[in-house]
Amino acid sequence: VILKLNAKANETDISRLVGRLTAMGLQVAVNRGEPGTSLAVVNGLDATVRPDLFIHLPMVEEVTPFNRKFKLASREFKSQRTVVRVKETAIGEGSFTVIAGPCAIESEAQIQAIAEAVAKAGARVLRGGAFKPRTSPYDFQGLGEKGLKFMRQAADANGLLCVSEAMSPEHVPLVAEHVDIVQIGARNMQNFELLKKAGLCRRPVLLKRGLSATYMEFILAAEYLLSFGNPDVILCERGIRTFETYTRNTLDLNAVPVLKNLTHLPIAVDPSHGTGLRDLIRPLARAAFAVGADALMVEVHTDPDAAVSDSQQTIGTEAFREVMKDLTRLGPALGRPLDAKAAPLSKSGADHLGGRVPT
């Protein structure tokens, strides 16, 4: 249930109330939003608790049940849109952030060259895999920690943020140490132990949609992250598995307005994995912006044909500049600037879903 508090409730009132509910064995989250603070009781309700009586608790003005299985991710609980802030970049309502870089970090020189190229063209975040989830055990498995260090240097040297994937619970602290945003890959969207660990880390998480995950399952995976205390979740549509074989996946742009309607989280779109074909990235990048996504994630390489993985869906730096030119032209028509720095600064998002004592 959601407990909407009186506008006069101060921090002491809130923490007293949270303490009281927690003492009842309930799991509670707090949203200090506009207009006013709400508490979500997300777990622990059983036959011994009568939620209708919560209306009699001090400062509680309204008690409403959740409509769906997801709670903290819902707009009922948090009507303002989440803006994920990393340093000076704000991912969320009001701007369009471009994340670019190679599928895999291959060498120090490679990631440096690509970082420089994508930064010049206007990207804000560098992507690159250090731990690679590969279908075959015989394929290149990534450079590991060494790769993360190369990436950090390349990002810093070019004024970029960076994002990389953690593939198992043990990886999370290591990846979080080196990068600004921790990625959970599509194949791990329902690796629940990994989600729990990422929920406990102090970095924003970019969560990719599973190959055949429904919207509900996708949001519930995000709910794992939120319920373990991490409020900074970016959802990423990256193509779903369908009967079609000409493309690697089918990029599902329906997902963007659906997820915007159901959740308050920002949405990224990855047309590289979403199509698997280089030629399709430019038009689908435009479509992702036009449909209302908050960020674009795209695989770029200085020598795409020589990329050790995902070569067919990786564009060169020249093609990436064309993509950026299209997006720059579209920005004004969509009423949204490309430059993330221009986004209005909201209150700190870091605590808006806090209050959980993870078990």
Which residues of the chain form contacts with a second copy (CB under 8 A)?
42-43, 69-71, 133-138, 167-171, 187-188, 190-194, 211-212, 214-217, 220, 223-224, 227-228, 240-247, 250-254, 256-258, 261, 274-275, 277, 279-280, 283-284, 286-292, 329-330, 332-334
Minimum CB distance to a second copy smaller for 21 or for 251: 251
Size (the chain), residues: 359
Instruction: Provide the token pair at 251.
Output: 């990029």
Closest separation in Å from C-beta 131 to a second copy: 8
Give, in order, the Cα–Cα distances in Å from 156 to each of 103, 116, 149, 272, 304.
19, 10, 11, 25, 23
Reduced 3-state DSSP string for 29-97: EEEEECCEEEEEEEECCCCCCCHHHHHHCCCEEEEECCCCCCCCCECCCCCCCCCEEECCEEECCCCCE
Closest separation in Å from C-beta 210 to a second copy: 8
Biggest alpha carbon–alpha carbon distance for the chain: 66
Closest separation in Å from C-beta 90 to a second copy: 21
Minimum CB distance to a second copy smaller for 73 or for 86: 73
Closest separation in Å from C-beta 336 to a second copy: 12
Count CB atoms within 10 A of the CB of residue 170. 11
CA distance 231 to 14: 19
Minimum CB distance to a second copy smaller for 329 or for 341: 329
CA distance 213 to 183: 17
Minimum CB distance to a second copy smaller for 65 or for 332: 332
Instruction: Provide the token pair at 131.
Output: 């731990």
Closest separation in Å from C-beta 27 to a second copy: 8
Instruction: Provide the token pair at 228.
Output: 């373990």
Question: Is there a contact between 338 and 328 (Cβ–Cβ < 8 Å)?
Answer: yes
CA distance 174 to 163: 13
Question: Is there a contact between 207 and 236 (Cβ–Cβ < 8 Å)?
Answer: yes
What is the enclosing helix (H) or strand (E) of 230? none
Minimum CB distance to a second copy smaller for 58 or for 257: 257
Closest separation in Å from C-beta 153 to a second copy: 26
Minimum CB distance to a second copy smaller for 52 or for 193: 193
Minimum CB distance to a second copy smaller for 191 or for 309: 191
Closest separation in Å from C-beta 146 to a second copy: 16
Minimum CB distance to a second copy smaller for 85 or for 132: 132
Instruction: Provide the token pair at 345.
Output: 């600064």
For tokens 């994508």, the residue is: 118
Instruction: Provide the token pair at 302.
Output: 């200085």
Closest separation in Å from C-beta 253 to a second copy: 5
Instruction: Provide the token pair at 10.
Output: 């101060």
Instruction: Provide the token pair at 257.
Output: 């307005």
